Structure 1
Amino acid sequence: MSALVIDCPTGLAGDMLLSAFLDLGVPESVVHEPMQSLGLGNAYLFKVEQSDSGGLRGIRLTVSNQEQNPPHRRWVDLRKLISEASLSSSLKANVLNVFCTLAEAEATVHGCSPDQVHFHEIGAIDSLVDVIGVCAAVESLSPGKIYCNAPAVGHGLVKTAHGVLPVPVPAVLELAKRHQVPIRTGEDLPAVELTTPTGIALMAVLANQFHRPSTMEVEGIGVGLGHRLLDRPNLLRLIRIHEASKVEAGWQELVIQEAWIDDATAEELASLAEQLRRAGALDVVHGAVLMKKQRPGTAVIALTTPQQAAALRHVWWRHSPTIGLREREQGRWVLPRRSGTSSTPWGLVRAKQTRRPDGTFTLKWEQDELQRLSSESGLTVAELRERLFLEAHSFVPEEDWRC
C-alpha cells in the first residue's frame, strides 16, 4: 500500500504542498481540469519552475490572478460554485470539506456565522487553485494513508486583511485546536508566518495521522519551495512510501500428505517427489523410518494447499506403490516476502527479501544463483555468501509483498 508523508520543517502552505505534488509527478492537467469545470480555467496563470532554496532544488509554483475584478467570495458563494461543478463525488466532498473547515474556523475567530465569512485571501484565485489542486492531486495518487508531521508555524507578527495579527494567526490556532493538529513554534523558528490557514485546513481534512511512520520504504520524493527568503531552505517535502500491511505475518491453511514406502527404489522416490512438486506441492521431504517386520523404509511427506490436495492424491496413486495415504490439515504463520534482484560485482543475482516484525529486512540469495556464480567465479558457495553480504547493493523487487 502506498502512503504519503508530508514533511514541513518551514511550515505548511497550499502552494508549497501543490508544488511538491507536481514535483512528485502529478500532471498539471490534474489541477487544470477541475478548475475548468468550475468555469475558472481562464481566471489564472500557472507558472511552474525548477528553482532552489538554500542550495536545495525543488519546484516553485506561482499563480497569477487574471480576473478583471476579483470578487471577495463568501463561503456561501463558493459552496454553490463547487456543488454545481461536474467534479467527481470524492473530489467535490474533499474540496467542500476544506472550505467548510476554513469557514467554521474564521467564523469562530470573527464572531459571525460561517455563511457570513468573506474569504479575503482564501477566496482569491490562487488559494482556490491550491485547495482544488491539492485535493485533485491526492485523488489522482489515491494513497492509502497520509502522514503529516507537526508543521512549523513561526512566531512574531504578520500583516493581514484584518490588520497586524500575532503568529500563529487566530484562524491557524483555531484549526489546530478544532482538529487536534499539532503545531511547532518557538524562538528557533523564523519570526514570520510559516503555516497558513489554507495549509493547515488541507491537512485537517486530508491527513490521517500527525507523525512520521516509524519506518519508511521510500518510492518517490517531491519538493515544493516557498517564495519567502528565510535563513534556511524554505521547502516542503512530499514523500511517497510503500507501507506494508499491519499484519506482520500471514496465516496459511495447509494439507500434509504422508506415505511410508518400503518397496520403491531411490530413483522412483526422487521421481515421485518431482511429480508432487509439479502438481502443486509447496515442499516434499523424505525421512528414514523403521516399518513393520523391521523393514527400513522412507517417509515421504508433501506440503500443499487445500485447493491442490486432490491433484496431489492422483499423483500418489499413479507414481508411487503406496496403497494408503495419511492426510491432515495444518496451518503455518509466514512472514511477508518478495522476490527480486540484487546488484552485485557479478551482475544481477536473484534473491528473496523478507520483512521481519521489528521492521527490519533480511535478504537471501537463491541457491541456484549461488551455484551458478560458484561455477562461473571459482568461489565456493560459502565464500560467495560472505562476499555478497558485504558487497551486494540495492534490491529491486519484482513483485509486491506476499505471505
Structure 2
Amino acid sequence: MPVSAAQPPPTQAANARPEEVWIDATAGVAGDMLLGALIDAGAGLPVVQAAVDAVIPGTVRLSQATVRRAGLRATKVAVEPLAEDHPHRTWRTIKDLIAEAGLPAPVRDRALAVFGRLAGAEARVHGVQVDEVHFHEVGAWDSIADVVGVCAALHDLGVGRLTASPVALGSGRVRAAHGDIPVPVPAVLELSAGWQVLSGGEGELATPTGMALVTALAERCGTLPAMNVQRTGMGAGTKDTPGRANVVRIVLGTPLPAAPDSSREATDVVLEANIDDLDPRLWPGVLTALLADGASDAWLVPILMKKGRPAHTLRVLAPSAQVAVVRERMFRETSTIGVREWAVHKTALERTWVPVAVLGEGTVPVKVAHRGGIIVQATPEFEDVAALASAHGLPVISVLDAADAAAAAQGLVPGAALPSDTA
C-alpha cells in the first residue's frame, strides 16, 4: 500500500549534476522499475510526461506513488491508458514516432538504441525481418512510455555514463502473447548476450524492456564503480514478494580520479585446446559464447597437426573467477577432450570513455587508454558506431570516420596529454 516517507534536505553535493549512474539490477529489472528509480532520484515527472506525450500524444498518463517492497521504501510509477485502442506497432512505426517527436538528441538517440536492440532480439526469436517485428507486449504503449521516459529522465538528471550490475532473470514459466513460455523468456535471453546474469529467484524478474534498457544504455557490467555518491533512487516493481525486495536501485555521482600509477597488474588464466574435427561454421558462435561467459578474449590459431591434418588451437584468456565457467563452455561447445591451463600476469592500461558528438546525430563513446597522463590509444566503440549508423540510415564507415575526426578534434590522439576533465 502507498506510504509516505520524509526525505532529508539535499546537500550541496547532492544538488550537483551527476556524471555517472550505476544500476543495481540484482533483483531484476523492468522499464517501470528503472523509471521509478530515476524519478525517486530527482528526475522530474512533468519532464518525463512531456517526452512521452511528444511520441504518443494523449495516450498515457504517468503517476508516482511511494510504496514498500519487503520493507524498503521505493517509488512506483504507474502508466495509465487514456485511450481504448492501443494497436501493436512495428519497429519501423516506433522508429518514425521517436525520430519525428522533436525530442532532445540524447533522448531520441538513447530511445532509438533501446528499441533497436529490442527489435533485433524479437526478430531473431520469431524469425522475421527487423523492420517487420510486431512488438506485442514489448512494443505496447506502456513500454514506449517506459523507454522514452527512462531516456528523458536520464537527460533531465544530466547523466552521461551508465554502468550496471549483473541482472537477475528469474526462473519458471510465464504466460505471454504466444502462449506458455519458459523464464527467462526468449527475448530476454537474446538481449543477455555479452552480459552477466543470474537466476535470482522464481518468476519473471527481468522483462525484455528492462533488459534492453540496461544492455543498450550501460557501457559495462560490474560492481559499483568508485565514485563520489550524490544521490540514490529506488524503483518498485508491481509485486511485493516476501523476503525479496522487488526493486531496482540506482546510484548517481561523479567518478573518482584515476590512481597516479596508470598501469595495473592482474593474474589471469589462459585455457587452450587443439581441435581438428569441429565444423568450422560453429567457431563464431563458440567465440561469442566464451566472451559472454566472462572471458577477456578468445581467439583461434591455425595449426597443422599429426598426419598433416589442418586444425585450430582455441585459446581463451579469462579472469581466475571465470575459469570454471569458461572451461565448461569449451567442453560443451567444442569436440575437445582436454583443456590446458596456465596462469599469466597481465598489465593493463587505465582507460576511460569520452563521448564525442558525431554528425549532429548523436554521441559515440571513445575508449581512451592512457599511461602516466599520456594517451596511448583512442578508439571509438564500434558497436555504438554501428548502432548510430543503423539508427540514422548512414554508412558505418562514414560514422566511424566522423567519430575518429571528432575524437581528434577533442585532442583524443595518441601522444597527447589526457584532458584534465577526463582524468
Normalising by structure 2, report the TM-score.
Answer: 0.56
Answering whether residue 39 of structure 2 is matched by residue 28 of structure 1, we say: no
Q: Of 123, 140, 146, which aligns to 1:130?
A: 146
Unaligned runs of 5+ in 2: 1-17, 263-420
Could you tell me which residue of structure 2 aligns to residue 9 of structure 1?
26
Relative to 1, partners in 2 of residues 1:48 and 1:57: Cα closer, same or farther, differing over 3 Å?
same
Q: Of 124, 136, 160, which aligns to 1:120?
A: 136
CA-based RMSD: 2.2
Relative to 1, partners in 2 of residues 1:97 and 1:249: Cα closer, same or farther, differing over 3 Å?
same
Could you tell me which residue of structure 1 aligns to residue 221 of structure 2?
210
CA–CA separation in structure 2 for the residues paired with 1:139 and 1:133: 10
Q: 1:157 touches 1:191 (CA, 8 Å); kept in 2?
A: no
String of CA shifts for 1:341-388, please: whole Å, max 9, x gaps: xxxxxxxxxxxxxxxxxxxxxxxxxxxxxxxxxxxxxxxxxxxxxxxx
Could you tell me which residue of structure 1 aligns to residue 74 of structure 2?
58
Could you tell me which residue of structure 2 aligns to residue 248 of structure 1?
260
Unaligned runs of 5+ in 1: 251-400
| Structure whose alpha-carbon radius of gyration is higher | 1
Q: 2:34 touches 2:235 (CA, 8 Å); kept in 1?
A: yes
Q: 1:32 touches 1:41 (CA, 8 Å); kept in 2?
A: no
CA–CA separation in structure 2 for the residues paired with 1:81 and 1:242: 34
The equivalences for 1:117-196 within 5 A come to: 117-177=133-193, 180-185=194-199, 189-196=200-207
Q: Secondary structure at the match of 2:86?
A: coil
Deviates more, 1:221-230 or 1:211-220: 211-220
Runs of 4+ residues over 6 Å off in structure 1: none
Answering whether residue 60 of structure 2 is matched by residue 69 of structure 1, we say: no
The equivalences for 1:4-403 within 5 A come to: 4-38=21-55, 40-177=56-193, 180-185=194-199, 189-231=200-242, 232-246=244-258, 248=260
Relative to 1, partners in 2 of residues 1:181 and 1:68: Cα closer, same or farther, differing over 3 Å?
same
- The offset of 1:402, in angstroms, is 13
Which residue identity is paired with 2:151? C
Deviates more, 1:108-117 or 1:137-146: 137-146
Which residue identity is paired with 1:203? V
- The offset of 1:246, in angstroms, is 2.2
CA–CA separation in structure 1 for the residues paired with 2:160 and 2:106: 15
CA–CA separation in structure 1 for the residues paired with 2:241 and 2:40: 21
% identical aligned pairs: 37
CA–CA separation in structure 2 for the residues paired with 1:182 and 1:174: 13
Could you tell me which residue of structure 2 aligns to residue 269 of structure 1?
none
- The offset of 1:249, in angstroms, is 7.8
How many residues get paired?
248
Which residue identity is paired with 2:258? K
Relative to 1, partners in 2 of residues 1:169 and 1:402: Cα closer, same or farther, differing over 3 Å?
closer
Q: 2:165 touches 2:224 (CA, 8 Å); kept in 1?
A: no
Normalising by structure 1, report the TM-score.
Answer: 0.58
Q: Secondary structure at the match of 1:228?
A: coil
